[in-house]
Amino acid sequence: MWTADKWKDYEVIDTSHGEKLERWGSYILVRPDPQVIWDTPKSDRRWKQRNGHYHRSSKGGGEWEFFDLPQEWSIQYRELTFRLKPFSFKHTGLFPEQAVNWDWVSSIIKDAGRPVKVLNLFAYTGGATLAAAKAGANVTHVDASKGMVSWAKENAAASGLADAPIRYLVDDCVKFVEREIRRGNTYDAIIMDPPSYGRGPKGEIWKMEESIFPFLRLTTRILSRDALFFLINSYTTGLQPAVLSYMLHTTLVPGFGGKVEASEIGLPVTSSGLYLPCGACGRWVRA
């Protein structure tokens, strides 16, 4: 498992009964997590001293219950600053486990010794975008949600990257890639974090199991011949690391060489010393 264990402003304190107890800066949240199927005792007093608790409904969805939690606050990871706020379906605007990928992306860009063009697809609130830009890359940030793109710009400004070479686009990712193929544009690295299900700005339907492999093949057509890396994340049940590895091998290695790795990604849990799995990740890198 690749673990995001360099955080100072974030911590998984404990896990039990389908929930995780987290520290986000100075605030304590309790949120549901489907991976937590164990029922260990909730001995840490902060289970009862939380600032916010997302209660999942048996009918689907759920709602927040707040106890002295601001509408918005910030945390830092290394030199990056992220603005947080509780919103729909338990989220805060940040997936802390992705820090392990931010570090990987940053190290490759810094070691490249040349200008690097990065494309971040399904880019959300911009964690990977900011990491790549901070490392010196020129980044194109694409997401179908206008609100998420605006949030990414706020994070960039908070991180001192308001003037960084980042191009923000509200667009359907598949249609954007198709247009880039027609334009003849290429990128040295591609990052994608596709949802299990989603809709584009004009109602375009995305279903991960049906769409991801054709889309991977499509994106290889906008990789530069001396491309550095390709990163794909998955939170979709059934898309195991081995599946991501197989897809990257078949779409990238025949034409670009290099090597592929895949693994679960996760977060350390303070109370147990164990690691909470938080999805899967596949990486292709030029050997």
Q: What is the mean pLDDT of the chain?
A: 94
pLDDT digits (tens, 9 = 90+) for 62-97: 999 999 999 999 999 999 999 999 987 899 999 999
With bands split at pLDDT 50, 70 and 90, how would you rate the model's confidence at 101? very high
Higher local confidence (pLDDT), 209 or 77: 77
When pLDDT is averaged across residues 255-274 and rounded to a whole number, the result is 97
User: Per-domain residue ranges for the chain?
Assistant: 2-74, 96-285
Contact (CB, 8 A) for 5 and 102: no
pLDDT at 44: 96
For 26, 199, 227, the CA distances from 252, given in Å and listed in that order, are 43, 27, 11
pLDDT at 29: 98
CA distance linking residue 285 with residue 273, whole number of Å: 31
Which of 23, 5, 27 is closest to 14 using CA atoms? 23
CA distance linking residue 270 with residue 101, whole number of Å: 21
Which of 8, 2, 54, 6 is closest to 29 using CA atoms? 54
CA distance linking residue 18 with residue 24, whole number of Å: 19
pLDDT of 60 higher than 80:
no
Contact (CB, 8 A) for 149 and 141: yes
CA distance linking residue 226 with residue 64, whole number of Å: 47
Fold: same for 2-74 and 96-285? no
CA distance linking residue 127 with residue 101, whole number of Å: 10
DSSP run (H or E) holding 149: helix 146-158
Question: Domain 2-74 classified CATH 3.30.70.120?
Answer: no
- The 3-state DSSP class for residue 148 equals helix
pLDDT at 201: 64
- The reported pTM is 0.93
When pLDDT is averaged across residues 246-269 and rounded to a whole number, the result is 97
Structure tokens at 198: 């989603």
Instruction: Give the CATH number of domain 96-285.
Output: 3.40.50.150
* Pair type for strands 52-56 and 62-66: antiparallel
Structure tokens at 232: 């794909």
